[in-house]
């Protein structure tokens, strides 16, 4: 019953935040996304990172395209996820050209083309991870879309790391910050939340 209650609460928050986020105009989202990307790029963890795992945004999400392009220009090793339908997990691929290396995949989200991009299994090489999400708490709690893809990926990464962990960062609009997000044992917190207004240091993961 407790599990059911937690899932119901999470879904209610998702629906509310997604509706509110959709109400932001395209121009407003673009301006705020630019501000978020600039703040993320100024983080020491990003500047020092050699290998960056990002994602391609869709719909009314914070647009990650500018940041991903910047990382490529800076000759960082850029990885993007692709949904593995068979395993229901994320496989990671290295991309070098957003125009040629991507195509609409699961849920119409741009994903790496397997025939063009090498698959990367050495998760220990990751320095910086940009995580998507619907809502976030200032303590680092992250509410995703409900598939558990990123929490499973982070669990796999955690197995390969002994001494430290990649920086976990989320970019989000300030209206996505809320209190009272329920958390489960399998949920991972982020280390930094970056909005158009501020950089929020969160509880250590």
Closest to 57 in 3D by CA, of 102, 11, 116, 121: 102
pLDDT, tens digit (0-9, with 9 covering 90-100), for 63-108 = 999 999 999 999 999 999 999 989 999 999 999 999 999 999 878 8
Residue 1, pLDDT score: 45
pLDDT in tens, 150-197: 999 998 888 777 666 899 999 999 999 999 999 888 888 999 999 999
- Could you tell me which residues are annotated as the binding site for substrate? 56, 61
Q: What is the pLDDT of residue 141?
A: 95
Q: What range defines the domain where residue 20 resides?
A: 2-201
pLDDT: which is higher, 108 or 116: 116
Segment 46-73 shows an average pLDDT of 97
Report if pTM > 0.85: yes
Nearest to 170 by CA among 133, 125, 127: 133
Query: pLDDT band for position 4 (50/70/90)?
Result: low
Query: pLDDT averaged over the chain?
Result: 92
CATH code of the domain covering residue 153: 3.40.50.10420
Q: What is the pLDDT of residue 186?
A: 83
Distance of CA 21 to CAs 24, 62, 134, Å? 6, 10, 9
The DSSP 8-state label assigned to residue 177 in this structure reads B
Report pLDDT for 101. Answer: 97
So what's the pLDDT on residue 183? 87
Q: Classify residue 166 as exposed, middle or buried by CB count within 10 Å of its CB (0-12, 13-18, 19+).
A: buried
Residue 134 DSSP code: S
pLDDT tops 60 at residue 2: no
Q: Which residues are annotated as a binding site?
A: 10-14, 56, 61, 142-150
Burial of 127 (0-12, 13-18, 19+ CB in 10 A): middle
Query: Would you say 17 and 134 are in contact if contact means Cβ atoms under 8 Å apart?
Result: yes
Number of domains in the chain: 1
Please list the helix, strand and coil fractions of the chain in percent, rounded to the nearest 5, in that order: 35, 20, 40
Strand ranges inside the chain, DSSP E: 51-53, 77-84, 89-95, 102-104, 110-112, 119-120, 128-131, 135-136, 142-143, 167-171, 192-194, 199-201
Specify the pLDDT at position 3. 55
Q: Which residues carry a binding-site annotation for ATP?
A: 10-14, 142-150
Q: What pLDDT shows up at residue 125?
A: 82
């Amino acid at each position: 019953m407790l599990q059911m209650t937690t899932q119901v609460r999470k879904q209610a928050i998702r629906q509310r935040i997604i509706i509110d986020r959709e109400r932001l105009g395209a121009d407003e989202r673009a301006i705020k996304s630019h501000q978020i990307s600039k703040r993320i790029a100024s983080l020491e963890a990003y500047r020092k990172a050699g290998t960056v795992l990002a994602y391609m945004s869709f719909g009314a999400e914070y647009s990650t395209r500018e940041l991903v392009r910047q990382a490529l220009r800076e000759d960082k090793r850029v990885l993007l996820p692709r949904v593995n339908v068979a395993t229901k997990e994320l496989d990671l691929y290295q991309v070098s050209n957003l125009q040629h290396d991507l195509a609409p995949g699961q849920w119409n989200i741009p994903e790496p083309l397997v025939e063009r991009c090498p698959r990367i299994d050495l998760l220990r090489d990751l320095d910086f991870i940009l995580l998507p999400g619907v809502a976030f708490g200032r303590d680092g709690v992250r509410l995703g879309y409900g598939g558990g893809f990123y929490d499973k990926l982070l669990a796999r990464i955690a197995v390969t790391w002994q001494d430290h962990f990649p920086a976990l960062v989320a970019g989000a609009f300030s209206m996505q910050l809320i209190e009272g997000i329920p958390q489960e044992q399998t949920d991972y917190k982020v280390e930094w939340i970056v909005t158009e207004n501020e950089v929020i240091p969160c509880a250590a993961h």
